[in-house]
Structure 1
Amino acid sequence: MNQFALWCEGRGLSFLPASPDTVVLYVDEEAGRLRPSTLKRRLCGISRIHRLLRHEDPTRDDDVYLAMRRAQRKKPERPRQALGVKTDLLDTLIAACTDDLIGLRDEALLRVGFDTLCRRSELVRLRADDLTTNVRGNFSILVRRAKNDQTGQGRTAPLSTKTSECLRRWLKQTGIERGPLFRPVYDDRVLQRYLDPVVVSRVLKKLARRSAAAEDARTGVSGHSLRVGAAQQLTINGNGILQIMRAGGWRSVAVVARYVENVDLDLWT
Structure 2
Amino acid sequence: MSLPPEQDKAGAIALPAEVPGSGALDRLVETARTYAAQAASENTLKAYAKDWAHFARWCRMTGADPLPPSPELIGLYMADLAAPAGPSPALSVSSIERRLSGLSWNYTQRGFSLDRRDRHISSVLAGIRRKHARPPVQKEAILPEDILAMVATLPHDLRGLRDRAILLLGYAGGLRRSEIVCLDVHKDDTPDSGGWIEIVEKGALLVLNAKTGWREVEVGRGSSEQSCPVHALEQWLHFARIDFGPVFVRTSRDGKRALEARLNDRHVARLVKKTVMDAGIRGELPERERLALFSGHSLRAGLASSAEVDERYVQKQLGHASAEMTRRYQRRRDRFRVNLTKAAGL
Normalised by the length of structure 1, the TM-score is 0.86
Pick closer, same or farther for the CA change 1:65–1:133 going to 2, 3 Å.
same
**CA-CA distance at 1:181 after TM superposition:** 1.5
Between the aligned partners of 2:275 and 2:333, the Cα distance in structure 1 is: 25
> Unmatched 5+ residue regions in structure 2?
1-51, 85-89, 187-195, 223-227, 338-346
Pick closer, same or farther for the CA change 1:5–1:173 going to 2, 3 Å.
closer
Residue in structure 2 matching 1:255, options 302, 325, 342: 325
Q: Note if 1:229 corresponds to 2:302.
A: yes
Rg larger in 1 or in 2?
2
Q: Note if 1:212 corresponds to 2:247.
A: no
Between the aligned partners of 2:261 and 2:81, the Cα distance in structure 1 is: 43
Residue in structure 2 matching 1:158, options 219, 223, 230: 219
Query: Does 225-234 or 203-212 show the bigger shift?
Result: 203-212
Q: Note if 1:93 corresponds to 2:119.
A: no
Query: Does 153-162 or 87-96 show the bigger shift?
Result: 153-162
Greater relative contact order: 1 or 2 (C-alpha under 8 angstroms, separation 6 or more)?
A: 1
The answer on whether the counterparts of 1:24 and 1:63 sit within 8 Å (CA) in structure 2 is yes
The answer on whether the counterparts of 1:231 and 1:244 sit within 8 Å (CA) in structure 2 is yes
Task: Indicate the SS of the match to 2:183.
Answer: coil
Query: Does 223-232 or 46-55 show the bigger shift?
Result: 46-55
Task: Indicate the SS of the match to 1:41.
Answer: helix
The answer on whether the counterparts of 2:185 and 2:244 sit within 8 Å (CA) in structure 1 is yes
Q: Note if 1:36 corresponds to 2:93.
A: yes
Task: Indicate the SS of the match to 2:209.
Answer: coil
Structure 1 letter corresponding to 2:262: Y
**CA-CA distance at 1:106 after TM superposition:** 1.2
Between the aligned partners of 1:87 and 1:103, the Cα distance in structure 2 is: 19
**CA-CA distance at 1:190 after TM superposition:** 0.3
**Percentage of matched positions with identical amino acids:** 28
**CA-CA distance at 1:228 after TM superposition:** 1.1
Structure 2 letter corresponding to 1:132: E
**CA-CA distance at 1:264 after TM superposition:** 5.4
Between the aligned partners of 1:74 and 1:51, the Cα distance in structure 2 is: 30
Between the aligned partners of 1:180 and 1:36, the Cα distance in structure 2 is: 37
Between the aligned partners of 2:78 and 2:197, the Cα distance in structure 1 is: 49
What is the match of residue 159 of structure 2? 102
Query: Does 61-70 or 214-223 show the bigger shift?
Result: 214-223
**CA-CA distance at 1:122 after TM superposition:** 0.4
1:107-256 equivalent positions in 2, closer than 5 A: 107-129=164-186, 130-134=196-200, 137-149=201-213, 153-161=214-222, 162-186=228-252, 187=254, 188-215=256-283, 218-219=290-291, 220-234=293-307, 237=308, 239-256=309-326
Normalised by the length of structure 2, the TM-score is 0.68
Task: Indicate the SS of the match to 2:178.
Answer: helix
What is the match of residue 50 of structure 1? 107
What is the match of residue 74 of structure 2? 23
What is the match of residue 27 of structure 2? none
CA displacement 1:189-238 (0-9 Å, x = unmatched): 1012311101111111222222232225952221111111111112xx1x
Structure 2 letter corresponding to 1:232: S
The answer on whether the counterparts of 1:23 and 1:59 sit within 8 Å (CA) in structure 2 is no
Structure 2 letter corresponding to 1:159: G
Residues paired across the two proteins, number:
260
What is the match of residue 33 of structure 2? none
> Unmatched 5+ residue regions in structure 1?
none
The answer on whether the counterparts of 1:138 and 1:164 sit within 8 Å (CA) in structure 2 is no
Between the aligned partners of 1:240 and 1:197, the Cα distance in structure 2 is: 30
Structure 2 letter corresponding to 1:20: P
